[in-house]
Structure 1
Amino acid sequence: MYVPSPMITRPATAPSRPASTWTGWGQWLALITMTLDHLTRYVLPNDWQLDWAGSSLGRIAFPLFAAMVAWHGLFNTRNPLRYARRILVIGLIAQLPYMMMPRASDAFILNVCFTLSLGLSWGAMLNALLEHHRRRDVGALWLVLATLASLLAWQWLGDWVEYGHEGLLLIPLFMLAMHRLHHTGPAMPQRLAAVACAIPALVATGLLNSRPLAKSFAVATSLAVLGLAAGAHRLTPAVPFAMPRWLWLAWYPGHFALMALWVWGLALWE
C-alpha cells in the first residue's frame, strides 16, 4: 500500500510539531511487511507453509501505514484533505491489479488506499469540527449532528473497503490518541486521560484480526507508535538510507501489477 508523504507546510520551529524521523524507518518496515503478507497470500505455493509469516510480520503493515497517515495528517500538513486525495489517486491506480488477485470471495472491495484516504478525511473533519466548537464557531447541536451523519457514512462505507469498519476507525482514533499523548501535561490526571484516549486505538487494532498471533503483532505495532507520540519520537535517529520517492510512489500499485502478471501467467501456463 502507498502512503504519500504530505507537503509539510508548518514552520520547522513550531513547538507543537514532534519529530517525524521515525517515519523514515516506518516506510521501509511497512513496505517490507506488506509485501511479505501479499507474497504469502497470493504468490507463494500453499505447500510451502509460510502463512505464519503473513499472520505475524504481515500484520505490522496496516497499523503502521494508518499510524503514518494519522501522524502526517495531524502534525505535518495544513491540508489533510489534499493529502487524503493524493492517497485516493494511488488507490484508483492500484484498484485494477488489486482486483486481479485471487480471493476466497467474489465481493467487490476497494483496496486499502481507500480505507486510509477515507479514514484520514473522517479524522480531519472531526478534528476541524472540534476546533470550530472550541472557538464557538459551531454549536454543540451541529457538532452532534455532523458526528452522527459521519457515523452513518462509516457504517455504509465499512462494507466496501479493505479492513472494513475497524480499518476506517483506526486513523481517527490514532489522531485522537496522538494529539492527547503529545500535548499532555505533567499532571497525573492529564497523563491518565491521554492513556485513556489511546485505549480505543489499541482495541480497534486488535479487532482487525481474529488470530491471537496476528492480534499481538498488530497491537504491538500500534503501541509502539503511540509510544512515539508520547515522547519517544525524540530518540529516533534518522534512517541511514532514505527511501527513494519514486519507489515510495510506485510500490503499492506496481507490486500488485507484478503479482497479477505472475499469478495469471502461471494459470495460463498450466
Structure 2
Amino acid sequence: MPLQVTPPVDATGGLARPSSTWTGWGQWLALVTMTVDHLSRYVVPDSWGLGWADSSIGRIAFPLFAAMVAWHGLFNTRNPLRYARRILVIGLVAQLPYMLMPRAADGLILNICFTLSLGLTGGAWLQALSERLERGALGVPRLVAEVGLAIAVWATAGLWVEYSHLGLLMIPLYMVALQALHGAGEGLGERLAATAMALPVLIVAGLMNSSDMAKSFTVATCLSILLLAAGAHRLMPSVPLGMPRRLWLGWYPGHFAAIALWLWLAGGLA
C-alpha cells in the first residue's frame, strides 16, 4: 500500500501541513546521538575502543537536526528567518564552550548552530526565489545578482562552519525534497518527479562522510525523514514524554560546558 494516495488538503482547499508528531521523538534521538558522539570524541579514552560510536550513532545527529529545522521552517513557522535568528542565538551562547573542545588542529570553526541557521536562511531564500519566479516577479539581472551573492556567501561561510559547504546545503535540499514529497499526487509522473527532487539531499548526505559506516547511518537517517514527508508522518504516535523547552534550548551549550569542565578537571588531576 502506498504511503500517500492523494495529497492531503485543508479546509480551504490548500495543501494541508503534515503532522509533526515525529519531531518529538526526533528531539530525544538527536540529543542522545549528539551527546554520544561528543563523549566518544572528547571524553572517553581511546583505549576503551569506542571510536565506532562516532562513525555510527554519532552520524545520526546532524542530518536529524537539519531535518527538524527544515521541517519546521517549511511547515510550522510563518517566519523562517526569525526561526533562523533564534538558532543563531543558541550558537552564539555555545561558541565559547565549543571552542574549549580539543580541536586545535581545525582552527576557528563555528558550531553547528551557525550551519543550521545559515542553512535555513538559504532554504527560505530558495523558497522565496521559486515563488517569485513562478509569479514572474524577478527579472534576469536581479536573478543573476541574487544567485551570485548566494553562491559567494555559501563559498565563504563554508570555510568557517561545522560540516563545511556540504553541511550548508542540507537544509535547503531537505526543504526542496520535503515539499516535493509531501505535495506529490497519485500520478506516476508526480511521484517520479518528487523522488528525483529527493535525490540531491541523499547524495550530499553520502558525500559528507568518508567511511562506509558513517555514510550508511547518515543516508539512512535522511531516507527516514523523506519517507515521513511522503506520508509516513501520519503513522507516528505521540512521544510519551515531550522534550522540556529549556532542556532543548540549553542542552547544546550546556553539554559543551560540562565536557570542558570535565576535561579541565581531568587535566588538573592528571
TM-score (norm 1): 0.93
Structure 2 letter corresponding to 1:159? L
Structure 2 letter corresponding to 1:265? L
- Hey, what does 1:5 align to over in structure 2? none
Give the 3-state SS of the residue equivalent to 1:126 in structure 2.
helix
Q: Offset of 1:12 from its aligned partner?
A: 10
How many residue pairs match? The answer is: 260
Structure 2 letter corresponding to 1:72? H
Distance 2:165 2:174 in 1: 15
Structure 1 residues 170 and 12, CA gap change in structure 2 (3 angstroms): farther
Structure 1 residues 18 and 130, CA gap change in structure 2 (3 angstroms): same
1:101 aligns with 2:82: no
Structure 1 residues 63-142: aligned runs within 5 Å = 63-103=63-103, 105-142=105-142
- Hey, what does 2:200 align to over in structure 1? 200
Structure 2 letter corresponding to 1:38? H
Q: Offset of 1:104 from its aligned partner?
A: 5.4
TM-superposition CA deviations, 1:150-193 (whole Å, max 9, x none): 01110111010000000000000000000000001111111111
More deviation, 100-109/54-63: 100-109
Distance 1:12 1:97 in 2: 48
Structure 1 letter corresponding to 2:257? A
Q: Give unpaired runs (5+ residues) of structure 2.
A: 1-9
Distance 2:44 2:80 in 1: 37
- Hey, what does 1:56 align to over in structure 2? 56
For the aligned residues, what is the CA RMSD? 1.5
Give the 3-state SS of the residue equivalent to 2:60 in structure 1.
helix
Give the 3-state SS of the residue equivalent to 2:16 in structure 1.
coil
Percent identity over the alignment is: 64
Q: Offset of 1:212 from its aligned partner?
A: 0.4
Q: Offset of 1:148 from its aligned partner?
A: 2.4
Give the 3-state SS of the residue equivalent to 1:101 in structure 2.
coil
Q: Give unpaired runs (5+ residues) of structure 1.
A: 1-10
Would the aligned equivalents of 1:130 and 1:143 in 2 still touch at CA under 8 Å?
Answer: no
Structure 1 letter corresponding to 2:112? V
TM-superposition CA deviations, 1:181-229 (whole Å, max 9, x none): 0001111111111111101000111111101000000000000000000
Structure 1 residues 144 and 188, CA gap change in structure 2 (3 angstroms): farther
- Hey, what does 1:234 align to over in structure 2? 234
- Hey, what does 2:38 align to over in structure 1? 38
Would the aligned equivalents of 2:15 and 2:183 in 1 still touch at CA under 8 Å?
Answer: no
Structure 2 letter corresponding to 1:189? G
- Hey, what does 2:245 align to over in structure 1? 245
Q: Offset of 1:261 from its aligned partner?
A: 0.2
Would the aligned equivalents of 1:55 and 1:214 in 2 still touch at CA under 8 Å?
Answer: yes
Structure 2 letter corresponding to 1:259? I
Distance 1:127 1:262 in 2: 43
- Hey, what does 2:6 align to over in structure 1? none
- Hey, what does 1:151 align to over in structure 2? 151
Distance 1:74 1:140 in 2: 26
Structure 1 letter corresponding to 2:87? I
Distance 1:251 1:134 in 2: 41
TM-superposition CA deviations, 1:79-99 (whole Å, max 9, x none): 000000000000000000000
Distance 1:126 1:139 in 2: 16
Structure 1 residues 73 and 36, CA gap change in structure 2 (3 angstroms): same
Q: Offset of 1:142 from its aligned partner?
A: 2.3
Give the 3-state SS of the residue equivalent to 1:105 in structure 2.
helix
Would the aligned equivalents of 1:133 and 1:140 in 2 still touch at CA under 8 Å?
Answer: no
- Hey, what does 1:214 align to over in structure 2? 214
